Structure 1
Amino acid sequence: MNLNQLHYFSKLAEVEHYTKAAEELKISQPSLSHAIGSLEKELGTRLFEKQGRGVVLTKYGKLFKEYVDNALHSLETGVKTVRTMTSQTEGVIELAYIYTLGSGFVPQLVGDFLRTHEELKVHFRFTVGNTSEIIQGLKDDRFDIGFCSMAEGENAILFTPVGREKLVVVTPKGHPLSYESAVDLRQVAEYPQIFYTPNSGLRPVVNRMFEQAKLKPKIAYEIEEDGSMAGLVAQNFGIAVMPQIPVLRQLDVDVTPLRNQNQKRYFYMAEGRTKYQPPLVKRFAEYVKKRGIE
């Protein structure tokens, strides 16, 4: 059984005449007769019976037609969907990003892309997660592009730096460090810390800062999402070293620069190194690369 046989069967069931069906299919009548005969032989039953100069479906032909119609409709939908998604001018881009980029970087980037490419019919689907989830999603083909931290040892992923965030100390209002113009890590290490979880892309960055200063932080709580981290700080669960993200302006916290530390957190556009990219995805990726580091 092959796809041509199903198309031939469907057309013959529609017009109920071998000659007319062959003409519409643009094949010879013997070819149509042979295809239907082979199909009936494979199924072990008659699908058509003669009626006057034409043919009609048998009881089993009618039953089979329901399944053939569903199969052909599903296939046609699939073809249209794939053509749309891989079109030069329209399609869907599956985009994933870490929490810190959701309030500013990603909305601005996507908005700018859409405004400068009004001729395109592109729809973005957004997913928020941590770096490890995003990288796994890229490997599993659930995402086309990711914006996240760099992960060591991920040779299947191409990381392109696209932005940076300054690391600062975030404290509750009225905290002793709030009154300093700048603080060093030794001062920070004296207080309970809210730290990133081990699977966060920022955990190695902050760990490295303390290790280089030969200090061991007092980790009181761990969390992976920056907004929630700042919320815990606002409620006096501890202090945190984290990126200077826009949401900090909306919370009851103080932000203090780190002295003698020019640490910045870089984030990256992540792509599957050998994965096929539809034209629109490739066009968006090139747009991001040309935009450079912000």
Structure 2
Amino acid sequence: MDLLQLRYFQVVARYEHISRAAEELRVAQPSLSRTIARLEADLGSPLFDRQGRRIRLNQYGAMFLRHVDRALSELDDGRRALRDARDTGLGRVSVASETLLTVTHALGSFRATHPRADVRLFQSTAEEMDRQLRAGEVDFCVASQPLAGAGLESIELAREEVLLAVPCGHWLDGQERVTIPEIADEPFVTTRVGHWQRTLLDRLFASEGLTPVLSCEGDEPGASQDMISAGLGIGLIPAMSRQAGTDTVVPVAWVHLAAPNCHRVLTLVGNPDAYLSEAALKFREFITSRPFMTHRLPDPRRGRRRPLP
């Protein structure tokens, strides 16, 4: 049994699919299959149930995977600890977020305060963030929806209302408040399944027994306001994310949604068992000890911003 076998097993166990695992590992499928077979022979027990081309992690494989995950995580933490000890700076902190605009201001302020810290940023879906935390690829995630995995710790950073953005001149322009049934036939600009905006949109419509009409599905929430302004549809936009971009406000009109729990909760999520560099520790203290961003809500009647009272 060697380290390469364990890492290959970990990826195959995650996908339960040889070809997908081979693609990620960038190895030939026959070579990967032989590696897994040798590992099973060394252990004296099959780790997967095979049904034709399909494989499923069996009870022995699941048991072994828990130990492999811990062992490889410890080795990766040891590697990071040595690197940080040699480093003349503070080490590295890696952060994932569903949209980069959400964390731009916070990371910029942190870099200004701790210029010796090596900061890495990733854009990921909620599913990807959960995997990245468990694999030790990131130290923290700034999440806009709960991450599914157990054993993770989260700290609330901010809570804000989510508003409905509509093109200027739209029939909703100038209205104070609208219900979901009133906009049931309106085309929506939104994100793909897995992003929090899509999760919120589907939940709000499902609570009324409706399904939203979609005109655009994308991976970058920050582009939604531009598409709404261009007349491609209406959409859900959080006030905080809108202010995280440039000072130029894309002209749209804003309307409150008369729907329960129409808000976003930002949380800092981490793995309590993972090693944290000095930079990561300072980042956690920095981001949780002060307001995450300036809290402002747009005037729902116009495309201008106003401070909260």
Secondary structure of the residue that 2:281 maps to in structure 1? Answer: helix
1:172 and 2:171 equivalent? no
Return 5+ residue gaps in structure 2 as ranges.
1-79, 294-309
1:283 and 2:278 equivalent? no
What letter is aligned with 2:85? R
Q: Is the 8 A contact 1:169 1:258 kept in 2?
A: yes
What letter is aligned with 2:279? L
TM-score (ref. length: structure 1): 0.61
Q: Is the 8 A contact 2:140 2:268 kept in 1?
A: yes
What letter is aligned with 1:81? R
Q: Report the counterpart of residue 103 of structure 2 in structure 1.
A: 106
Correspondence for 2:118 among 123, 138, 154? 123
1:241 and 2:236 equivalent? yes
Q: Report the counterpart of residue 270 of structure 1 in structure 2.
A: 269
Residues 1-294 of structure 1 correspond to what in structure 2 (within 5 A)? 81-84=83-86, 90-99=90-99, 102=101, 106-113=103-110, 121-244=116-239, 245-246=242-243, 247=245, 250-259=249-258, 261=260, 263-291=262-290
Secondary structure of the residue that 1:241 maps to in structure 2? Answer: strand
Aligned residues between the structures = 211
Q: Report the counterpart of residue 306 of structure 2 in structure 1.
A: none
Secondary structure of the residue that 1:209 maps to in structure 2? Answer: helix
Q: Is the 8 A contact 1:132 1:200 kept in 2?
A: no
Distance change (3 Å), C-alpha of 1:107 and 1:241: closer
Superposition deviation, residue 289 in structure 1: 2.9
> What do residues 30-61 of structure 1 show as CA deviations (whole Å, max 9, x unaligned)?
xxxxxxxxxxxxxxxxxxxxxxxxxxxxxxxx
What letter is aligned with 1:182? R
Distance 2:170 2:212 in 1: 18
What letter is aligned with 1:288? I
Secondary structure of the residue that 1:254 maps to in structure 2? Answer: strand
Distance 2:164 2:196 in 1: 18
Secondary structure of the residue that 1:257 maps to in structure 2? Answer: strand
Superposition deviation, residue 106 in structure 1: 2.6
What letter is aligned with 1:164? R
Q: Is the 8 A contact 1:192 1:239 kept in 2?
A: yes
Distance 2:162 2:208 in 1: 15
Distance 1:160 1:84 in 2: 31
Superposition deviation, residue 283 in structure 1: 3.0
Superposition deviation, residue 205 in structure 1: 2.2
Distance change (3 Å), C-alpha of 1:98 and 1:80: same
Q: Is the 8 A contact 2:90 2:279 kept in 1?
A: yes
Distance 2:230 2:184 in 1: 19
Distance 2:81 2:121 in 1: 24
> What do residues 134-156 of structure 1 show as CA deviations (whole Å, max 9, x unaligned)?
33222222211221223353114
Q: Is the 8 A contact 2:166 2:235 kept in 1?
A: yes
TM-score (ref. length: structure 2): 0.59
Q: Is the 8 A contact 1:150 1:159 kept in 2?
A: no
Distance 2:226 2:86 in 1: 42
Distance 1:226 1:257 in 2: 19
Distance 2:110 2:121 in 1: 15
Q: Is the 8 A contact 1:84 1:91 kept in 2?
A: no
After superposing on structure 2, the runs of 4+ consecutive aligned residues of structure 1 that deviate more than 6 Å are none
Distance 2:111 2:236 in 1: 35
What letter is aligned with 2:105? Q
Superposition deviation, residue 260 in structure 1: 5.3
Distance 2:232 2:216 in 1: 8
Distance 1:234 1:84 in 2: 51
> What do residues 186-225 of structure 1 show as CA deviations (whole Å, max 9, x unaligned)?
2222311223211113322222222223333222322232
Distance change (3 Å), C-alpha of 1:157 and 1:292: farther
> What do residues 141-180 of structure 1 show as CA deviations (whole Å, max 9, x unaligned)?
2211221223353114322211123211111121111131
Q: Report the counterpart of residue 68 of structure 2 in structure 1.
A: none
Superposition deviation, residue 287 in structure 1: 3.3
Distance 2:273 2:169 in 1: 52
Distance 2:127 2:148 in 1: 12
Q: Which structure would you say has the larger Rg?
A: 1
Distance 1:253 1:156 in 2: 41
